[in-house]
């Protein structure tokens, strides 16, 4: 049986910057706070959102900020999103080779599924794994542990992602980790977290996986 391959969503399959950053700006404005510029919110893309909001507005106001964020994101933010150029070709090649492909994202499952379906990538993935709206499985290690149990995967599964959270989650579950530096995590972030294999464009995944 071929090894299962898990892809992160934000920063790995799609560029979600506009939708996430504008929804964060909206949340802060609703709290009468000055919102940072779009480019100053790149660090919020990838980690569990509530943690980022706690840094931005403080723990006491983070839950309300999340409500405002989702108010906009559920309406327009989720489709202010762009698949990386050529990603469907890469996925198609992996799919045609018979690799079992999955999505593993800290984003709530309800949004992740909509995004994957909206861009026609659902044809390549056997299942999408995401967090729950109540915060369950926002931690990547917990999410991957759950996913591996759900698919009854043996040793040898692979995680592909752009942030340190993907690396930590993969290594804690004894998975092979391949970092992608074209997303929102720097090469330094990935290597410091323990990633050894890193690609600068998704096409470079093909010789590593096939």
91-110: pLDDT as tens digits:
999 999 999 999 999 999 99
Q: Taking residues 32-55, what's their average pLDDT?
A: 93
SS (H, E, C) the chain: CCCCEEECCECCCEECHHHHHHHHHHHHHHCCCCCCCHHHHHHHCCCCHHHHHHHHHCHHHHHHHHHHHHHHHCCCHHHCCEECCCHHHHHHHHHHCCCCEEEEEEEEHHHHHHHHHHCCHHHCCCEEEEECCCCCCCCHHHHHHHHHHHCCCCCCCEEEECCHHHHHHHHHCCCEEEEECCCCCCHHHHHHHCCCEEECCHHHHHHHHC
Regarding whether 156 and 65 lie in a shared domain, the answer is no
CA-only gyration radius of the chain, Å:
16
What's the pLDDT at 1? 65
- Please indicate whether residue 8 is annotated as part of the active site: yes
Regarding whether 192 and 160 lie in a shared domain, the answer is yes
Regarding whether 44 and 54 lie in a shared domain, the answer is yes
Regarding whether 171 and 149 lie in a shared domain, the answer is yes
Q: How far apart are CA 192 and CA 44, in angstroms?
A: 19
Domain count, the chain: 2
Regarding whether 165 and 96 lie in a shared domain, the answer is yes
CB 144 within 8 A of CB 4: no
* CATH code for position 58: 1.10.150.240
What's the pLDDT at 2? 82
Average pLDDT, the chain: 95
Regarding whether 204 and 142 lie in a shared domain, the answer is yes
Regarding whether 86 and 62 lie in a shared domain, the answer is no
**pLDDT tens sequence across 115-127:** 999 999 999 999 9
* CATH code for position 155: 3.40.50.1000
Which residue range is the domain that position 179 belongs to?
5-15+82-209
**pLDDT tens sequence across 50-64:** 999 999 999 999 999
Domain termination site, one of 52, 79, 106: 79
* pTM of the model as a whole: 0.94
**Is residue 154's pLDDT more than 80?**
no
Regarding whether 113 and 177 lie in a shared domain, the answer is yes
Tally of CB atoms within 10 A around 93? 16
Regarding whether 100 and 159 lie in a shared domain, the answer is yes
């Amino acid at each position: 049986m071929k090894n299962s391959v898990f892809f992160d969503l934000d920063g790995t399959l799609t560029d979600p910057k506009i939708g996430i950053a504008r929804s964060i700006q909206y949340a802060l404005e609703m709290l009468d706070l000055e919102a940072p510029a779009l480019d100053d919110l790149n660090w919020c893309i990838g980690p569990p959102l509530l943690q980022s909001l706690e840094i931005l507005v403080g723990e006491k106001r983070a839950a309300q900020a999340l409500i405002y964020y989702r108010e906009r994101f559920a309406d327009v933010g989720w489709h202010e999103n762009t698949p990386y150029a050529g990603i469907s070709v890469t996925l198609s090649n992996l799919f045609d080779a018979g690799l079992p492909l999955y999505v593993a994202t800290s984003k709530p499952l309800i949004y992740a599924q909509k995004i994957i379906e909206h861009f026609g990538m659902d044809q390549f993935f056997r299942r999408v794994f995401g967090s729950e709206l109540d915060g369950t499985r926002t931690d990547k290690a917990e999410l991957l542990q759950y996913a591996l149990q759900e698919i009854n995967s043996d040793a040898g599964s692979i995680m592909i992602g752009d942030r340190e959270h993907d690396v930590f989650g993969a290594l804690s579950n004894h998975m092979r980790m391949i970092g992608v530096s074209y997303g929102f995590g720097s090469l330094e972030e990935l290597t410091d977290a323990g990633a050894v294999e890193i690609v600068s464009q998704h096409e470079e995944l093909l010789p590593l996986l096939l």
